[in-house]
Structure 1
């Protein structure tokens, strides 16, 4: 009895799986095999029927999408960095100073290695994959996202009182006028 229930549920599941659409990015369709094995199904993709030019175009499109993913990756890290800034406190302590050092130095390191990071996503026909003008828009977006990280670090410095923004911070550079001569008779 339990065997028949198990067989029924597996048959029911497999029929439900056949009706599910393929996941995004995976255009897989199932075709039945030869007449000898009707139970076995073999996947066949639509990419088998693509011409080499279409395959190259899809590959370039995929590389472009990956370049944009890399360009927006610093912005995707901002919420976590802001949570860490919040939980590190407002005092000048070793943990919060390390946090500020990371927030202020990582954008400069990332922008310095930007051309090398984007070289793998350069189009095939690019003269120099490491040139700044190759993938210009994703690189500019990458710079903007790193500037946002830098602004979070500057906000943390301001919160800790490390930025000289008040008038009291600039008293050493203030010029005082000469005092009037007052004589008492």
Structure 2
């Protein structure tokens, strides 16, 4: 009767230990291959995290055309709809920049890695500044920013008027 193999416990099985290795197989190459594949997987995971961080960094710039179209469709008058869109456009970049560190936490590199997220964070801030600039431009075009001299008349002081004599 042939001996049966217990695949659950190969360490204690003498039949498995007595089998010769296949041709071209060496124990050292198996250990090197496992460590190489582990380091390659870690490197690809770090590269994927870096790529996702860049995707997050440029996401405000991707929504810029949609925001510009919404501002165009809201019109130039001062109405509740246009003011609501304008408030959203001005407040969302401020909220995004203030919660930037929590947004980038999932993409933080491991302690052993020399990569950092400084450059993606700078790009993220710049893209949010572009969105904020679009909102400020719309405020100016709607006449909500005091840009003319007539907007500052309340703060202007005038000297005494010149005396005019009606008697000659």
Task: Please classify the TM superposition score into its range, dividing by the shorter chain length.
Answer: 0.7 to 0.9
Shift of 1:50: 5.4
Structure 2 length-normalised TM: 0.74
Segments of 5+ residues of structure 1 without an aligned counterpart are 1-47, 127-133
* Mapped partners of 2:165, 2:138: distance in 1: 51
Ranked by relative contact order (alpha carbons within 8 Å, sequence separation 6 or more), the top structure is: 2
Matched, 1:167 2:157: no
Shift of 1:105: 0.3
Q: Which residue of 1 aligns with 2:80?
A: 94
* Mapped partners of 2:84, 2:155: distance in 1: 30
Indicate the structure (1 or 2) with the bigger Cα radius of gyration.
2
Match of 2:133 among 146, 151, 156: 151
Segments of 5+ residues of structure 2 without an aligned counterpart are 1-33
Structure 1 length-normalised TM: 0.67
Root-mean-square deviation (CA, aligned residues, Å) is 1.9
* Mapped partners of 1:170, 1:157: distance in 2: 17
Q: Which residue of 1 aligns with 2:3?
A: none
* Mapped partners of 2:59, 2:37: distance in 1: 33
Write out per-residue CA displacement over residues 131-162 of structure 1, whole angstroms, 9 at most, x where no aligned residue: xxx51110010000000110111111111110
Which protein is richer in strand relative to its size?
A: 1
* Structure 1 ranges of 4+ moved more than 6 A: none
Q: Which residue of 1 aligns with 2:47?
A: 61
Q: Equivalences for 1:1-185 in 2 at 5 Å?
A: 51-125=37-111, 134-185=116-167
